[in-house]
Amino acid sequence: MFVWSSSYIYCMKKTRFFYEINYFLIVLLGWLLLFHKAAEVNRAREKEGWKTWTGCVLGIAGAGGIESGMAVGMQNTGSAEATENDDLPEIAESGDERLSTLSGKIRVLLMDSGYQSYYHSSVTLNLNGADYEYTPDSPELSQGELVLGGGEAGITITSIERQESPPVYYGTLEIQNTPQGLLLINELPLETYLEGVVPSEMPASYEGQALMAQAVCARTYAVCQMEEGSLQEEYGADVDDSVNFQVYGNIAPTDKTSQAVRETSGQIMCQDGKPVTAYYFSTSSGRTSTDEIWGGTSSSYLKSVECEFDQNAPWSSWKVTIPWTVLEERTRNLTGSESLESIQVVKKSESGAVTGLQITTEKEAVQLEGEYEIREFLSPQGQTITEKDGSTVTGGSLLPSSYFQLKANKGGCVEITGGGFGHGVGMSQTAANEMAKEGYSWQEILEYFFRDITLDRYE
């Protein structure tokens, strides 16, 4: 029979003790790992929840920036009355940092229907399938501003009429309550903005290379405006959505126009490392202008070039007759004089654009200078314009271009014969399309119309 010694028993007890200690440490370590993993999962869920609701409502902003709080629900009946809804998300806490500080985003001031004013008496919109209406008296605007995000579906503003109505806006919509009315600012990524500019500024039926040249022009122009900030101080925006800057959101994007934006992503025109002001217009009269037509010294990257590519286009030449009584009324509003004695061209630019128009009354002679002012005074509003191919259109608020000559018959009418459509500075869009048809690349198109430029990437 085997007899256990006392020393052997002692060793066995000691060994068992150490095994028990190790087992306890292993179990404890396992629980710690599980607890750490659970904490990570919880944080991930919280982060995902933030992303989910910020696509709906970003904040109600007052004078000090975006404030945290509860979102205000509204009935889907078009009213702005608050309702109780436990499913509505909370407003995100964003501190005092304004949305305009986000990099790569542009702030667009949305004009009313007809592009007459920045101020809206009310706004109706559709967000996530629900209809809402805001007025200056809406409780949601009592703190000054309301910022909405439309997520992937965007925000449809039904109170704004555009060529393709109703327009849909992506990114965020900021509604500001001011004494003059409501201001609407759409903030969105620059590239998304361009997808709304290209089809509004150039027909989607144009050649791909022309659309790409247009995308680069539009991007370069937008970057310049973002740096200059001419609307920032008064309105907190970079541009508006009209011809004052670039038309945006008037016509919905197509696959073709959006592809042109994507394939030139980030590309801008620069000179000496700085983005140029990339002007463009519809159709030339046979030669482009420099920005001297607006007064001052011409920019070195803008050049006047012979442009024969668009000379078969309908707008390459046109004529219109304006009654003398119409111009006499405009003269009365301009000078206060009852009598219009004569109208004559007194100055032209090197490229042939009219830059000086003299209006003589019985009391004084007034000279209009600048392309826009002249085209506005000679507006063919409501008159019939005959294009090169014999087709006719009704004139608008501006003469088609400042490339013209006129014959004034006092007491009768003023006959104007001209060519081109638009200000004539930079790239002719019609010519760009014809160049693309002939095999020019978008880079070659831009190099034809702009001098000493480089193509750089805007980050």
Burial of residue 13 (number of CB atoms within 10 Å: 0-12, 13-18, 19+): exposed
The pLDDT tens digits along the chain (459 residues) read 344 444 444 444 444 444 455 555 555 666 666 555 455 544 443 333 333 323 333 333 333 322 222 222 232 333 333 333 333 322 223 333 323 333 589 999 999 999 999 999 999 999 999 999 999 999 999 999 999 998 999 999 999 999 998 999 999 999 999 999 999 999 999 999 999 999 999 999 999 999 999 999 999 999 999 999 899 999 999 999 999 999 999 999 999 999 999 999 999 999 999 999 999 999 999 999 988 888 777 899 998 999 999 999 999 999 999 999 999 999 999 998 878 999 999 999 989 999 999 999 998 999 999 899 999 999 999 999 999 999 999 999 999 999 999 999 998 999 999 999 999 999 999 999 999 999 999 999 999 999 999 999 987
**Tell me, what's the pLDDT at 20?**
53
Q: Where are the domains of the chain?
A: 53-97+120-179, 190-278+426-459, 314-418
Judge whether 248 and 162 are in contact, CB under 8 Å: no
**Tell me, what's the pLDDT at 350?**
87
Smallest CA-to-CA distance from 159 within 114, 132, 124 is with: 124
**Tell me, what's the pLDDT at 25?**
59
Distance CA 34, CA 136 (A): 54
Quick one: tokens of 142? 């009592």
Smallest CA-to-CA distance from 177 within 278, 280, 300, 63 is with: 63
Distance CA 443, CA 459 (A): 19
**Tell me, what's the pLDDT at 293?**
84
CA triplet 199, 380, 406: central angle to 5 degrees? 115
**Tell me, what's the pLDDT at 88?**
30
**Tell me, what's the pLDDT at 370?**
87
Judge whether 299 and 291 are in contact, CB under 8 Å: yes
**Tell me, what's the pLDDT at 77?**
30
Q: Report residue 370 CA to chain centroid gap.
A: 26
**Tell me, what's the pLDDT at 36?**
53
For 234-254, letters b (16+ CB in 10 Å) and e give ebbbbbbbbeebbbbbbbbbe
